[in-house]
């Protein structure tokens, strides 16, 4: 019934392999077609979400050799960078590490995640250097002028996550809400792509290991190992990929009420090598627990399921421009975490390419110009509507399809892990 990794790789080479997305599998299971699942060789899974544990490593020339000895401080579009690990400044080269959650000192609401997407979009970024002799220098650079630009996830692709509510009497500023959590259980936020998530299909890390080839923000990369705080109950992964090959729509900044956050996307091929994997792939949203946490204490208050927030929910938000009543101050422009809505003094405009389908505009828009059914979570007798999603399942599904097509047309080779990760 199940196959070895080598057997699957050979079937792919001979164009005999059956490759399906996790969503296609779940649709089959929902329709009662369990038997066909036994014939699948590879399942492509994906997630797109706010992932705080993100950093980039850049190396690029900034001045002529011997212009200065050491850099004391460096900023890219005002976002602070850590200089090093290799002290190459005497050669006129900067080696820098930039965190995805770092805040720009120049532009409010701009952080590392925004910077990474701007670079991948081909935009010039402004580099300021403060040398240790107190001189300052600056230049504009693009990604193509950076020989080395890699994005790393130190805590990525977690096996789904949690929902948050605020049971207190006061609003709370937190990374789990974009405009501040309203009090008294008035709304819930959550993260996690549910049944299509990579580690939902392989929670014991039987098929995914060190050296597994993945797509990170659309670029080929590799799993390095377990991510920080990974444990058997809540595994997550670390990995990296070259930013030169990334796709902007899969990444970016996400502005919360506690500062900038970073969006990343993973697509992971899961070779079906064991019965356990097969069983996990077949689990649907409603069978996957979604703990409901108090956002203040971070303690669980109850448990919902991913079925509550994804079954029957709209994956995309829709904008009806005719409904916009042209408020004196557009609340949606103010709270949209992606900057996807702009108000020109008369009507709001929506940039569908930037939209993350988080849904906060649905509850914040005075004219009901945004529509999306986002489900709810239940705590005892209380049904709490979802007001914000920190995962974009629409694009995760698209990324899983992209990976499937690349495997089938031979442009993406699945790789056997060089070593297992302890779950
Ligand atoms: S809040 Fe809604 S109705 Fe008011 S200007 Fe913004 S989009 Fe238009
Ligand atoms: S769903 Fe609404 S608030 Fe969220 S990114 Fe899209 S336009 Fe902005």
Q: 379 and 276, same structural domain?
A: yes
Residue 37 has pLDDT above 80, yes or no: no
Ligand (nearest to CA of 348): 1
What CA dihedral angle connects 307, 311, 314 and 316, to 10 degrees? 60
Ligand (nearest to CA of 254): 2
Q: Is residue 418 part of a domain?
A: no
Q: 177 and 96, same structural domain?
A: no
Give the helix/strand (H/E) hosting 229.
Answer: none
Tell me how far apart the 2 most distant CA atoms of the chain are, in Å: 71
Say if ligand 1 is within 6 A of residue 362 CB.
no
Number of the ligand 2 atom closest to the C-alpha atom of 364: 3
* pTM (2 d.p.): 0.95
Q: Is residue 94 part of a domain?
A: yes
Q: Is residue 304 part of a domain?
A: yes
* Closest Cα to atom 2 of ligand 1: 365
Indicate the residue among 152, 174, 192 that finishes a domain: 152
Q: Is residue 223 part of a domain?
A: yes
Q: How confident is the model at residue 422 (pLDDT cuts 50, 70, 90)?
A: confident
Look up the CATH number of the domain holding residue 342: 3.30.70.20
Say if ligand 2 is within 6 A of residue 241 CB.
no
Q: 166 and 287, same structural domain?
A: yes
Number of the ligand 2 atom closest to the C-alpha atom of 338: 5
Q: How confident is the model at residue 423 (pLDDT cuts 50, 70, 90)?
A: low
Cα(163)–Cα(180) distance, integer angstroms? 15
Q: Is residue 421 part of a domain?
A: no
Say if ligand 2 is within 6 A of residue 150 CB.
no
Cα(391)–Cα(387) distance, integer angstroms? 13
Q: Is residue 422 part of a domain?
A: no
Residue 119 has pLDDT above 90, yes or no: yes
Closest CA to 389 of 300, 313, 330: 313
Say if ligand 1 is within 6 A of residue 344 CB.
no
Q: How confident is the model at residue 179 (pLDDT cuts 50, 70, 90)?
A: confident
Cα(54)–Cα(141) distance, integer angstroms? 21
CA distances from 231 to 117, 204, 306 (A): 30, 10, 21
Q: 330 and 258, same structural domain?
A: no
* Closest Cα to atom 2 of ligand 2: 361
pLDDT recorded at residue 204 = 95
Question: If you measure from the C-alpha of residue 103 to the centroid of ligand 2, how many angstroms do you get, rounded to a whole number?
Answer: 21
Cα(333)–Cα(350) distance, integer angstroms? 9
Question: For strand 71-76 and strand 79-83, is the pairing parallel, antiparallel, or unpaired?
Answer: antiparallel
CA distances from 198 to 73, 274, 309, 311 (A): 38, 15, 18, 19
* Average pLDDT over all residues of the chain: 95
Residue partners of 297: CB distance under 8 A and separation at least 6: none
Q: Is residue 353 part of a domain?
A: yes
Q: 148 and 295, same structural domain?
A: no
* Closest Cα to atom 4 of ligand 2: 358
Q: 387 and 276, same structural domain?
A: yes
Q: 236 and 122, same structural domain?
A: no
pLDDT recorded at residue 35 = 66
Indicate the residue among 152, 173, 203 that finishes a domain: 152
Q: 135 and 27, same structural domain?
A: no
Q: 379 and 273, same structural domain?
A: yes
Residue 246 has pLDDT above 70, yes or no: yes
Question: If you measure from the C-alpha of residue 166 to the centroid of ligand 2, how many angstroms do you get, rounded to a whole number?
Answer: 22
Residue partners of 125: CB distance under 8 A and separation at least 6: 76, 77, 115, 118, 119, 140, 141, 142
Indicate the residue among 371, 398, 416 that finishes a domain: 371
Q: Is residue 417 part of a domain?
A: no
Domain of 34, in residue numbers:
5-51+157-313+374-408
pLDDT recorded at residue 358 = 98
Residues 70-81 pLDDT 10s = 999 999 999 999
Look up the CATH number of the domain holding residue 106: 2.60.40
Q: 262 and 402, same structural domain?
A: yes
Q: 123 and 14, same structural domain?
A: no
Q: 327 and 308, same structural domain?
A: no
Residue 1 has pLDDT above 60, yes or no: no
Residue of 96 and 85 predicted with greater confidence: 96
Q: In 276-421, where do the E strands start and end?
A: 289-294, 300-305, 318-319, 341-343, 348-350, 370-371, 376-379, 382-389
Q: Which residues of 71-94 are buried (b: 16+ CB within 10 A; e: fewer)?
A: beebbbbbbbbebeeeebbeeebb
Say if ligand 2 is within 6 A of residue 319 CB.
no
What is the count of structural domains for the chain?
3
Question: For strand 213-216 and strand 259-271, is the pairing parallel, antiparallel, or unpaired?
Answer: antiparallel
Q: Which residues of 193-209 are buried (b: 16+ CB within 10 A; e: fewer)?
A: bbbbbbbbbbbbbbbbb
Say if ligand 1 is within 6 A of residue 369 CB.
yes
Say if ligand 1 is within 6 A of residue 371 CB.
no
């Amino acid at each position: 019934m199940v196959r070895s990794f080598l057997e699957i790789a050979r079937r792919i080479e001979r164009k005999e392999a059956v490759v399906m997305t996790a969503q296609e599998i779940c649709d089959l299971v929902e329709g009662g077609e369990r038997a066909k699942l036994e014939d699948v060789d590879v399942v492509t899974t994906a997630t797109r979400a706010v992932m705080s544990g993100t950093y980039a490593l850049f190396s690029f020339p900034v001045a002529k050799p011997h212009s200065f000895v050491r850099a004391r401080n460096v900023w890219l579009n005002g976002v602070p960078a850590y200089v090093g690990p290799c002290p190459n400044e005497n050669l006129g080269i900067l080696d820098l590490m930039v965190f995805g959650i770092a805040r720009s000192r120049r532009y409010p609401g701009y952080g590392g995640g925004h910077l990474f997407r701007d670079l991948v979009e081909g935009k010039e970024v402004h580099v300021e250097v403060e040398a240790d002799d107190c001189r300052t220098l600056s230049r504009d650079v693009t990604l193509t002028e950076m020989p080395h630009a890699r994005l790393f996830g130190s805590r990525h692709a977690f096996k789904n996550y949690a929902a948050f509510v605020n049971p207190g009497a006061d609003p709370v500023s937190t990374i789990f809400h974009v405009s501040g959590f309203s009090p008294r259980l008035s709304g819930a936020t959550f993260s996690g792509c549910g049944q299509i998530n990579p580690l939902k299909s392989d929670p014991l890390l039987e098929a995914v290991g060190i050296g597994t080839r993945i797509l990170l923000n659309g670029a080929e990369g590799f799993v390095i190992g377990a991510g920080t705080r990974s444990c058997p109950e809540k595994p997550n992964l670390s990995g990296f990929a070259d930013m030169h090959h990334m796709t902007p729509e899969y990444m970016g900044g996400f502005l919360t009420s506690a500062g900038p956050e970073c969006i990343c996307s993973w697509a992971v091929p899961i070779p079906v090598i064991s019965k356990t994997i097969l069983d996990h792939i077949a689990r649907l949203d409603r069978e996957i627990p979604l703990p409901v946490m108090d956002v203040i204490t971070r303690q669980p208050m109850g448990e919902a399921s991913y079925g509550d927030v994804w079954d029957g929910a709209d994956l995309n938000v829709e904008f009806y421009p005719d409904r916009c009543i042209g408020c004196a101050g557009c609340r949606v422009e103010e709270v949209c975490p992606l900057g996807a809505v702009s108000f020109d003094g008369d009507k709001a405009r929506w940039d569908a390419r930037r939209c993350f389908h988080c849904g906060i505009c649905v509850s914040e828009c005075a004219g009901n110009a945004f529509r999306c059914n986002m489900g709810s979570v239940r705590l005892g007798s209380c049904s709490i509507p979802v007001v914000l999603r920190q995962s974009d399942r629409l694009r995760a599904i698209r990324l899983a399809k992209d990976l499937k097509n690349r495997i089938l047309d031979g442009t993406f080779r699945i790789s056997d892990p060089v070593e297992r990760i302890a779950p």
